[in-house]
Amino acid sequence: MTLAEVLPSAGAVTAPDPVLRVEGLCVSVRTEGGLKPLVQDLSFTLAKGETLAIAGESGSGKSITSLAIMGLLPPPAVRVTGGRVLLGGENLIGLPEPALRSVRGDRIAMIFQEPMTSLNPVMTVGAQLVEAIRAHERVGRAEAAKRAVEALRAVRLSEPERRMGQYPHELSGGMRQRVMIAMALALKPEVLIADEPTTALDVTVQREVLDLLRDLQRQMGTAIILITHDMGVVAEMATRVIVMRQGRQVEAAATVDIFGKPQADYTRALLAAVPRMGQGLVRPPVTTEPVARLEDVVVRYPLRGGLLGGVTQNVHAVEHVSFDIRRGETFALVGESGCGKSTIAKALVGLAPHSGRIEIAGQALAGLDAPGQKAMRRKVQMVFQDPMAALNPRMRVGELIAEPLLIHALGTAANRRAKAADLMARVGLEASQLDRYPHEFSGGQRQRICIARALALQPDLIIADESVSALDVSVQARVLGLLRALQAEFGMSYLFISHDMAVVENISDRVGVMYLGQIVELGTRAQIFGNPQHPYTRRLIDAVPVPDPAHQRAAAPGLAGEVPSPLHAPGSGPLRVRLADIGGGHLVGQ
Amino acid sequence: MAGYLIRRLVQAVLILLGVSFITFFLLYVLPADPVRQIAGRSATAQTVENIREQLGLDKPFVVQYARYLGALVQGDMGRSYLQKTEVAELILSRLPATLLLMVAAIVCELVLGLTMGIIAALWRGRAVDQTLMVTSFVTVSAPQFVVSLLLLYVFAVKLGWFPIGGYGTFAHLVLPAVTLAILGSGWYSRMMRSSMIDVLRADYIRTARAKGLSRARIVLRHALPNAILPVIAMIGIDIGVFMGGIVVVESVFGWPGIGQLAWQAIQRVDIPIIMGVTLVSACAIVLGNLLADLIAPFIDPRIRLR
């Protein structure tokens, strides 16, 4: 690809006042087998004040594109092998480092996905903001500090003066992302690149951060490149969309057209896979006997300190939670990070010390002897969020799937292998792949392996803790389909733990909504999503980005401050939420 | 904070108690007989027994240890068998020399090691990195008595830049301090390199680059404080290794510190001195670790002492 072939078409897109033009951008990585392209022949323009979304699944090259524009590609392996990036007529590709440095942060700024790790943990928020300002403008420390406070106020952080002296670990994820935005916008850049800015945030926080970005853009006229995998976020934020796949542009069009009349097959498939509220299949209510019963379950972790190491505070992770999971049903627990949903999963498999009563198949979990516990563990299996971390990289897939059988001494070696081969086929993989290692599979395939392993013991209950959260939407849709099919075949129950309301709405029979360790609302899917009663449930549902550009939502600007804490001094605790039945088993916190 | 300090100090006392017991026990079961050393070869059996009785060495182990501890609590570390002076006095008179050597060597090894580590990390995979890492490997594996003799031969005997041994001027300090520092610098450079490489991959370094900061500022202000944390914890532990090196180096260079004192005492089975030096070293290690733990929260605000 030469420049001459690229140039004629590059400026054709309707943009009156282009701030940034990317022309025929190619990025490659040097591997042992030669240069491997990561981005191929990508061209677009970005107008003042507009939001261009670059959407795609993992490996599409969307993040690499943003790093290439910033000149931040990890050297020496990854580099730009062709094309131009024009900022106000100046080509950034090949610009010497000092010149690039004066562009970065000043004219093009960037915010990243991980607010937890993107700020330096040993520097105060103020120092990091001041340094960003002083890197580009000749102002004194006091003047820079004044502007930093203004920037913090602009991103609607409460008590901006106090935040200046705080360290990142003292702030919540949403507050940190606001600091990142403040840092990026303090110098009023022409272009802001937001790389998955809300992916790591809770859905209500995502809502606030997106609103904030939009408001700031309106005030400053910043052009935004929004990189995301979430079509809901695209629909809410973008004026135009580029859909990328495997380093190439698949389709580029105005947002309404992408959602209204997608041209490319891939775009259509991508949109079809996006979980939408109100799409779940209606299933008859499950009225079988419970497989698991939780009664008044409490999990608290003591924090120790002081001279004699006494308990100074307790983390109230789970507070007086009661519910049951019926045979063959999918019970979902939803809530934001830290609400205690994963702690319940841990308590169910005996990994968290609890008070109250947990029964699995009619038998209480507490007071079991070692053989009793081992037998109990056969009945409950787990599938985790990150399949790569959940599979031992040095074991073959066949061994991994058969390991539960080995631990419980079931069958001969040949039996176990046959069983593993059978399970592989059940989850849609080839039995011939039994001798491969986990790294040879894709993310979705690895999660299938985890599911096969959980199935090996034919448990009564499978706990799926954010099991599809890390997967691309198209893969996610297939894994959800697999889970449903397996349930129809084997009749086990799922405890489905997720922060994603749309996914929960699609898969669950009954739902429990958790907030700060307590269940605030519990009912069938129709009750929770059709007639949400608790304000928190409503907030969660309202916050979900809708993959439809026509959908209008009232912005609710709020100040971000301290999040309510699950820490309490010994003897005290949170106010207990009392659940009342408002009819048909729909329990609502008062 | 006060509670933390008190707990650490109680721990320190227990550690010292343990060290004193183990050392005392080892010296008790040792086949070498201090009384023979004091009495000399020609002494009669009667003389030997008299001295033994006089020193209380005829008593059972428990009684001897209890007596020693009892005196120690009152600040009495006993008298040297051979020099007939107070052990506390001997150690105190030699401690400044050892401290000087230690501080000089630690500063030297940190400057050398950290610089090498940072440079290697910044140019990892290149020739500089490989050269530095081979060098550090050599310095880590070279025994100190060999290094000290080599330095003595080249810089004192052949070139005559530094005195062959002794104590008094800055020139006297250079060779022993460098000998000690060479071993440590190898360790620190390797540690600093891997720590720095980890930190340079961190998201906040990418953020710093995206802000348009200069490379020097990114390395010194953002990467270095994060990378140095594990190294600081190491310095506390390292003081133990250091005390071993000091015995060798002080003997080779005739440096009048407690290492040399210990070496002479070991040869003559002068139990009170051996005990005294061991306890002082243990104190140094405990204090070094405490100091390292106290410094860490100043660099990383996430660390809370409780």
Half-sphere exposure of A584 (CA within 13 A, CB side): 9
- A117: enclosing H helix or E strand: none
pLDDT value of residue B31: 79
Out of A315-329, B152-166, B261-275, the most confident range is A315-329
pLDDT exceeds 60 at position A8: no
- What's the half-sphere exposure (Cβ side, CA atoms, 13 Å) at A440? 10
**CA atoms of B176 and B153, how far apart (whole Å):** 13
Of B259, B240, B192, the C-alpha closest to B15 is B240
Q: How far apart are CA B24 and CA B274, in angstroms?
A: 9
Asked if the model's pLDDT at residue A318 lies above 50, the reply is yes
pLDDT computed for residue A567 by the predictor: 82
Flag whether residue B204 sits within 8 Å of chain A, measured between CB atoms: yes
Q: What is the pLDDT of residue A562?
A: 66
Q: Which of A78, A95, A114, A120 to mutate to test the interface with B (most CBs of B within 10 A)?
A: A120
Nearest CA in chain B to A167: B301
Judged by CB atoms closer than 8 Å, whether chains meet at A112 and B207 is answered as: yes
DSSP string for B233-248: HHHHHHHHHHHHHHHH
First to last CA, chain B: 7
The answer to whether A167 contacts B301, with C-beta atoms less than 8 Å apart, is: yes
**Residue pLDDT, tens place only, A352-362:** 889 999 999 88
Q: Is the pLDDT of residue A448 over 50?
A: yes
In the structure, what pLDDT confidence band is assigned to residue A9 with cuts at 50, 70 and 90? very low
Tokens found for residue A437:
């290692």
Least Cα distance to A113 among A66, A47, A48, A43 occurs for A66
**Facing residues of A587 across strands?**
A522, A581
DSSP assignment, residue A239? S
Residue B93: both structure tokens together = 């008179």
pLDDT for the residue numbered B306: 65
Confidence (pLDDT) at A11:
40
Mean pLDDT, to the nearest integer, of B165-178? Answer: 86
Q: Give the three-class secondary structure for B91.
A: helix
* Residue A134 near chain B (CB below 8 Å): no
Q: What are A343's two structure tokens?
A: 């702690």
Q: What is the pLDDT of residues A35-67, one digit of tens each?
A: 889 999 999 999 999 999 999 888 888 989 999
User: For residue A2, what pLDDT is reported?
Assistant: 44
- The residue ranking higher by pLDDT, A14 or A566, is A566
Q: Write down the pLDDT at residue A559.
A: 66
Asked if residue A10 has pLDDT above 70, the reply is: no
Contact status of A136 with chain B (Cβ, < 8 Å): yes
pLDDT at B79 over 90: no
Residue with tokens 């507009």: A50
- Give residue A302's pLDDT: 86
Contact between B135 and B183 under an 8 Å Cβ cutoff? The reply is no
Shortest CA gap B188–chain A (Å): 22
- Average pLDDT over every residue of A246-253: 93
Q: How far is A87 from chain B (nearest CA, A)?
A: 16
Find the range with the poorest average confidence among A246-250, A291-295, A365-369, A464-468.
A365-369
Q: How confident is the model at residue A557, as a pLDDT?
A: 55
Task: Using CA atoms of A581, A582, A584, A587 in order, give the dihedral in degrees to the nearest 10.
Answer: -50
Which pLDDT score, from 0 to 100, does residue A150 have? 92
- Residue A3's pLDDT band, with cuts at 50, 70 and 90, is very low
Q: How confident is the model at residue A242 (pLDDT cuts 50, 70, 90)?
A: very high
Per-residue confidence (pLDDT) for residue A542, from 0 to 100: 87
pLDDT at A568: 83
Distance CA B51, CA A325 (A): 84
Residues in A closer than 8 angstroms to B207, CB to CB, are: 112, 118-120, 180, 183
Residue B157 CB coordination number (10 Å): 12
User: What local confidence, expressed as pLDDT, does residue A560 receive?
Assistant: 66
DSSP state of A439: G
Of residues B303 and A75, more confidently modeled: B303
Chain A contact for B225 (CB, 8 A cutoff): yes
* B123 near A CB under 8 A: no
pLDDT at residue A392, as a whole number: 94
Please report which residue ranges of A116-263 form alpha helices under DSSP H.
125-134, 141-154, 160-164, 173-185, 203-220, 231-237, 255-260
Alpha carbons B32 and B265: distance in angstroms, whole number: 13
Q: How confident is the model at residue B113 (pLDDT cuts 50, 70, 90)?
A: very high
Its ipTM equals: 0.81
pLDDT, tens only, B84-95: 888 888 889 999
CA distance B232 to chain A (A): 15
Q: What is the pLDDT of residue A139?
A: 92
**Contact at CB, B206 and A112, closer than 8 angstroms:** yes
Is a pLDDT exceeding 60 seen at residue A569? yes
Question: Which of the four pLDDT bands, split at 50, 70 and 90, describes residue A6?
Answer: very low
A180·B207 Cβ contact <8 A: yes
The answer, for A131 touching chain B at a CB cutoff of 8 Å, is yes
CB A501 within 8 A of CB A337: no
How much is the average pLDDT of A428-436?
90
In this prediction, residue B143 carries a pLDDT of 84
Pairing of strands A223-228, A191-195: parallel
Residue range A272-289, pLDDT digits in tens: 888 887 766 677 777 788
Q: Look at the block and give the residue holding tokens 């030469």.
A: A2
**Span A582-587, mean pLDDT?**
87
Give percent of chain A above pLDDT 90: 52
Distance (Å, whole) CA A10 – CA A562 = 47
Residue B275, both tokens: 């005990």
Q: What is the pLDDT of residues B209-244, one digit of tens each?
A: 999 999 999 999 999 999 998 888 888 778 877 888
Does the pLDDT at position A305 exceed 80?
no
Look at B74-83, B99-108, B130-139 and tell me which has the smallest mean pLDDT. B74-83
Core vs surface per residue A370-384: b (16+ CB within 10 A) or e: eeeeeebbbbbbbbb
pLDDT at A15: 46
Contact B203 A106 (CB under 8 A): no
Mutate to test the interface with A, among B203, B207, B217, B305 (most CBs of A within 10 A): B207
Sign of the CA dihedral running A391, A395, A398, A401: negative
Rounded distance between C-alpha atoms, residue A310 and residue B288, angstroms: 27
Q: What is the pLDDT of residue A279?
A: 67
Around Cβ B4, how many Cβ atoms within 10 Å? 17
Per-residue pLDDT at A13 exceeds 60: no
Q: What is the model's pLDDT at position A42?
A: 94
